[in-house]
Amino acid sequence: MALKIVMFSDYICPFCYVGFETMRRLKPEFDFQIEWRGFQIHPDWPAEGIPADKLRGAGDGATRQALWKRISGMAEAVGFSMKPPTVFTNSRAALAATEFARESGRDEALEERIYRAYFNDGENIGDAGVVARLAGEAGLEEGEVADAIRSPKYELRLKNNSLAAHQRGVSSVPTFFIGEFPLVGAQSLDAMRAILKRATERFAS
């Protein structure tokens, strides 16, 4: 039986992108099933986005540069690249689209495309039209995704994700639950490999 992992994450979180790619890289090495659960960390941010240099509390230029040097290094260690976003935006449309994609098993493909669009291509994933186009590139039907983003059905799922996160004590992302064991924050490839190895051995015994 596969090890069950739940990952609470948000598209606008760079460490979630690192965690997402880390788990994808480790999939061939371990028998696990991962369930991605969208959890908005800034539902107050507008869909049109806030220019990165206008966001209050983002720190000064030197602080942001140092942070992104660290994040870029983490990404490169996993085997991909990322850049700081040009706007900070609301992720609701992207998360709703992902809930729809999960029904056809295309959620991982869509997640990869959305992360890459936000952290490499400078796209505003708060724009429902942009999200629908990205979903089309991931193999989904754009019109169906556009309808899903507006649907109360997927809005309810996002609320349920948030409720589940709060019930489990999740206050930041990424947060992984490996079985019932919580793990907060993006890990290096080697650290996550060691964690999964121990969890697999414990699960099998």
Q: Distance between CA 142 and CA 136 in Å, rounded?
A: 5
Radius of gyration of the CA atoms of the chain, in A = 17
Kindly report, residue by residue over 11-45, the tens digit of the pLDDT. Answer: 999 999 999 999 999 999 999 999 999 999 999 99
Q: Give the per-residue pLDDT at 192.
A: 97
The domain ranges of the chain are: 3-204
User: Which residue's structure tokens are 């085997």?
Assistant: 79
Q: What is the pTM of this model?
A: 0.94
Run of H or E including 165: helix 152-167
Fold of 3-204: Glutaredoxin (3.40.30)
| H and E: helices and strands count for the chain | 8, 6
Kindly report, residue by residue over 144-195, the tens digit of the pLDDT. Answer: 999 999 999 999 999 999 999 999 999 999 999 998 899 999 999 999 999 9
Run of H or E including 52: none
